[in-house]
């Protein structure tokens, strides 16, 4: 699909930033990087691996650790143990009602990290984030930027297990899942984090401020620059705000390009 067709599908046809180079969103375009497979993390480590890599702990063993001990253990996990560890997690009750855990998906060396709220019904069935209607919109927005999940993009959630009836995460659930998201951020070392919606913004920025007040500037999560935009599910309910979200993504892309240029 061509970029103008994608923008059309997003309801954004007339909108374009002056001076913005048209991204190549041709479906046939070869992605620049293809590092999706998790096992590549071993071939191309981003940080020194601990001498003795702890194993993914089965549920019973996980339960014996204090919250601090648990967080420290998760902070040492390598990619090849990460998904199994999430699958064995019993730190909150969501493990009892989920179908599949949804650890995250994408390029483990991505510059872009998108963080949503938590799996919905489709994600819970498939074990992959953003595969339902909201995910389709996210994919369209990525394509309009000339990007694609898995290529320089990693997608994660605040919660790795579906909250029943798609309710928002409780603070206790978000806290219990936080060490996993922190480990993903530490392993990926993204150049930019995009917080999609309130849950991600609240957790990463420790704020209750509205998305409207957090948009349009670059925040920080530890060393990583972070921008905030509307959650795709919100955009499906409020299509008039799609243009604002597109504006946020173009702003983010420009920021990243200027950071990368200054590093050359």
* Residues near ligand URA, by CB under 6 A: 116-120, 123, 129-130, 134-135, 157, 233
Closest approach of Cβ 50 to ligand URA, in Å?
30
Closest approach of Cβ 5 to ligand URA, in Å?
24
| 62/199 with CB nearer ligand URA | 199
Q: What is the DSSP string of 69-98?
A: HHHHHHTT--HHHHHHHHHH--SSTHHHH-
Closest approach of Cβ 151 to ligand URA, in Å?
18
Q: Which two tokens stand for residue 245?
A: 């979200």
| 57/181 with CB nearer ligand URA | 181
**What distance in Å separates the CA atoms of residue 227 and residue 13, rounded to the nearest whole number?**
24
Q: Which two tokens stand for residue 220?
A: 């920080």
Place of tokens 């219990």: 176
Closest approach of Cβ 115 to ligand URA, in Å?
8
Strands, E assignment, 125-182: 153-157
Closest approach of Cβ 120 to ligand URA, in Å?
4
Nearest residue to the partner ligand URA, using Cβ:
116
On the 0-12 / 13-18 / 19+ scale of CB atoms within 10 A, 16 is middle
**What distance in Å separates the CA atoms of residue 6 and residue 14, rounded to the nearest whole number?**
12
| 42/166 with CB nearer ligand URA | 166
| 10/200 with CB nearer ligand URA | 200
| 57/87 with CB nearer ligand URA | 87
**How many CA atoms lie within 13 Å of 254's alpha carbon, on the beta-carbon side?**
15
């Amino acid at each position: 699909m061509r970029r103008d067709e994608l923008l059309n599908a997003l309801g954004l046809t007339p909108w374009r930033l002056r001076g913005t180079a048209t991204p190549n969103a041709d479906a046939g375009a070869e992605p620049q990087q293809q590092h999706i497979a998790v096992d590549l993390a071993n071939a191309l480590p981003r940080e020194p691996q601990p001498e003795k890599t702890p194993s993914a702990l089965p549920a019973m063993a996980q339960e014996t650790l204090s919250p601090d001990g648990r967080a420290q253990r998760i902070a040492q996990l390598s990619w090849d143990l990460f998904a199994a560890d999430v699958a064995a997690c019993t730190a909150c009750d969501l493990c009892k009602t989920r179908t599949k855990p949804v650890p995250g998906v994408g390029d483990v060396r991505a510059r872009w990290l998108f963080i949503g709220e938590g799996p919905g019904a489709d994600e819970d069935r498939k074990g992959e984030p953003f595969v339902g209607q909201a995910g389709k919109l996210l994919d369209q927005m990525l394509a309009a930027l000339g990007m694609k999940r898995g290529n320089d993009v990693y997608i994660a959630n605040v919660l790795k297990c579906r909250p029943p009836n798609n309710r928002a995460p409780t603070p206790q659930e978000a806290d219990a899942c936080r060490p996993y998201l922190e480990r993903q951020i530490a392993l990926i070392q993204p150049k930019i984090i995009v917080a999609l919606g309130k849950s991600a913004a609240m957790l990463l920025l420790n704020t209750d401020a509205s998305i409207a007040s957090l948009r349009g500037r670059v925040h920080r999560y530890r060393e990583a620059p972070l921008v905030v935009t509307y959650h795709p599910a919100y955009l499906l309910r409020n299509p008039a705000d799609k243009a604002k979200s597109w504006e946020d993504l173009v702003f983010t892309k420009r920021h990243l390009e200027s950071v990368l240029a200054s590093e050359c």
